């Protein structure tokens, strides 16, 4: 096992650690090409601990990870069961809103980090009624937080295909039902968007 001399020695809030653990599990699925062989529970715990060390620089005890996984099971985020060989395995509930929320951000981050740009722009725009301005403002903040580029006031874009992510956003953000999706070969002021996504 590799040494991790720069591990954080800070006390995380319970929700912060749960978020980090969930992100590690989802990242494991993403890095496996969309699927992750369901390991036995001890192997899952070991993978999470190592993931926290490598990606978050955190050294967390096994018993805390077990408690978090149990909490995930109680909240229907994770299912832990016995198979025919009496070995505990897990299944991530992809329909759970919490899983969906973190999956969207991590999916987009995963694509942005790869920087596999094909020269196209993927735009989303929306026209949320004025009477629902709070939903409109939340949607703008949400897209910005996800890493979309604010092309215009109600137009946001990514340089990577994101149709599936948009469909997921529509499931978890109420105002997103007004969103539309467009693929463009060329846009005006493209250089500014390229700088934003570090494509130059």
Tell me the DSSP string of 164-183: HHHHHHHHH-GGGGGEEEEE
Question: Please, which contacts does 91-98 make with residues 24 or more away whose CB atoms are closer than 8 Å?
Answer: 91/38, 92/25, 92/26, 92/29, 97/171, 97/172, 98/22
Q: In 111-135, which positions are buried (b, 16+ CB within 10 angstroms) versus exposed (e)?
A: bbeeeeeeeebbbbbbebeeeeeeb
Tell me the DSSP string of 74-125: HTTSEEEEE-TTS-EEEEE-TTSHHHHHHHHHHHHHHHHHHT---S-EEEEE
The answer on 125 and 66 residing in a single domain is: no
State residue 55's pLDDT score: 81
**Position 175 confidence tier, pLDDT thresholds 50, 70, 90:** confident
In a domain, 78, yes or no: yes
Q: 86-122, pLDDT tens digit by residue? A: 566 677 787 787 888 888 888 898 888 888 899 999 9
Highest mean pLDDT among 39-48, 75-84, 154-163: 154-163
Which CATH number fits the domain that encloses residue 182? 3.30.70.240
Q: 24-78, pLDDT tens digit by residue? A: 888 777 665 554 555 677 888 888 899 888 888 888 899 999 899 888 888 888 8
State residue 1's pLDDT score: 45
State residue 82's pLDDT score: 64
Report the 10 Å Cβ neighbour count for 162: 23
CA distance 12 to 27: 20
Look up residue 31 and give its DSSP letter: H
Phi-psi region at 185: left, alpha or beta (left = phi > 0; alpha = psi -120 to 50): alpha
When the pLDDT of each residue in the chain is averaged and rounded to a whole number, the result is 83
The answer on 131 and 79 residing in a single domain is: no
State residue 77's pLDDT score: 85
Which CATH number fits the domain that encloses residue 31? 1.10.10.10
User: Does the pLDDT of residue 174 top 50, yes or no?
Assistant: yes
The answer on 87 and 20 residing in a single domain is: yes
Report the 10 Å Cβ neighbour count for 153: 9
Q: What's the number of domains the chain is made of?
A: 2
In a domain, 110, yes or no: no
CA distance 178 to 129: 9
The answer on 19 and 58 residing in a single domain is: yes
In a domain, 9, yes or no: no
pTM value surpassing 0.75: no
In a domain, 34, yes or no: yes
User: Does the pLDDT of residue 4 top 60, yes or no?
Assistant: no
Comparing 81-90, 113-122, 191-200, the range with the smallest average pLDDT is 81-90
Highest mean pLDDT among 13-17, 51-55, 138-142: 138-142
In a domain, 108, yes or no: no
Residues spanned by the domain of 22? 14-92
| Radius of gyration of the chain from its Cα atoms, rounded to whole angstroms | 19
């Amino acid at each position: 096992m590799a040494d991790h001399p720069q591990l954080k020695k800070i006390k995380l809030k319970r929700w912060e650690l749960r978020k980090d653990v969930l992100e590690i599990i989802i990242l494991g699925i993403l890095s496996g090409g969309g699927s992750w062989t369901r390991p036995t529970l001890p192997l899952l715990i070991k993978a999470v601990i190592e993931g926290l060390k490598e990606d978050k620089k955190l050294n967390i005890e096994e018993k805390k990870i077990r408690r978090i996984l149990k909490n995930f099971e109680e909240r229907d985020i994770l299912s832990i069961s016995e198979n025919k060989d009496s070995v505990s395995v897990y299944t991530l509930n992809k329909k759970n809103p919490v899983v969906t929320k973190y999956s969207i951000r991590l999916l987009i981050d995963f694509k942005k980090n790869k920087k596999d740009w094909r020269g196209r722009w993927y735009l989303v725009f929306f026209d949320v009624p004025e009477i629902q301005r709070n939903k409109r403002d939340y949607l703008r903040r949400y897209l910005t937080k996800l890493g979309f580029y604010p092309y215009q006031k109600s137009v946001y874009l990514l340089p990577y295909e994101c149709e599936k992510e948009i469909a997921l956003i529509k499931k978890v953000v109420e105002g997103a039902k007004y969103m539309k999706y467009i693929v463009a070969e060329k846009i005006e002021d493209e250089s500014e968007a390229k700088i934003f996504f570090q494509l130059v």
